[in-house]
Amino acid sequence: MDKSNQKKYKRKSRTRSRNEEKFGPAKKLEQKGPEKLQGVSSYNPVMIEVIVNDRMGKKERIKCLPTDTIGIFKKLIQAKTGTRSEKIKLQKWHQVFKDHITLEDYEIHDGMSLEMYYN
């Protein structure tokens, strides 16, 4: 590198110094996060609606939380359809869902459709 290129990179911005001359030195703003209250959680549950299709003409819309497990979700289906939760098998394509894993972990979102089979 020759000396003229070195000078280019070492130069300071003139606009900052001109602004400082007019308005004084720049103030640094302190950013604050949201206030946290003692004993109050920030968890905000949002209900989702999942469509369950048994492929024999029965299609149900089930409202639940993303943090619900598949086992809890099956019990919600049981309440709506009358089929025992032990007899229900849920899957999407070829992936069979296990009872102890949450809907969130399986990336099941609002409006998604699942297949329901009977054991």
Confidence class for position 53, pLDDT limits 50, 70, 90: very high
Q: Which among 49, 51, 52 has a CA at the least distance from the CA of 63?
A: 49
User: CB–CB of 1/7 below 8 Å?
Assistant: no
**Least confident segment among 18-27, 59-68, 76-85:** 18-27
Top pLDDT among 59 and 5 is at 59
How many residues would you count in the chain?
119
CA distances in angstroms from 74 to 14, 16, 69, 93, listed in the order given: 67, 63, 9, 18
Q: Identify the pLDDT of residue 112.
A: 96
| Residues sharing a CB contact under 8 Å with residue 101, sequence separation 6 or more, in sequence order | 69, 70
Q: Report phi then psi at 103, rounded to 5.
A: -65, -35
| Residues sharing a CB contact under 8 Å with residue 56, sequence separation 6 or more, in sequence order | none
Q: Please tell me whether residue 22 adopts helix, strand or coil conformation.
A: helix
CA distances in angstroms from 9 to 2, 3, 97, listed in the order given: 12, 10, 59
Beta carbons within 10 angstroms of residue 57's beta carbon: 6
> What domains are defined for the chain?
48-118 (3.10.20.90)
Q: Identify the pLDDT of residue 24.
A: 75
pLDDT in tens, 14-51: 656 677 777 777 777 776 666 666 665 556 678 999 99
Amino acid identity, position 58: K
Does the pTM exceed 0.85? no
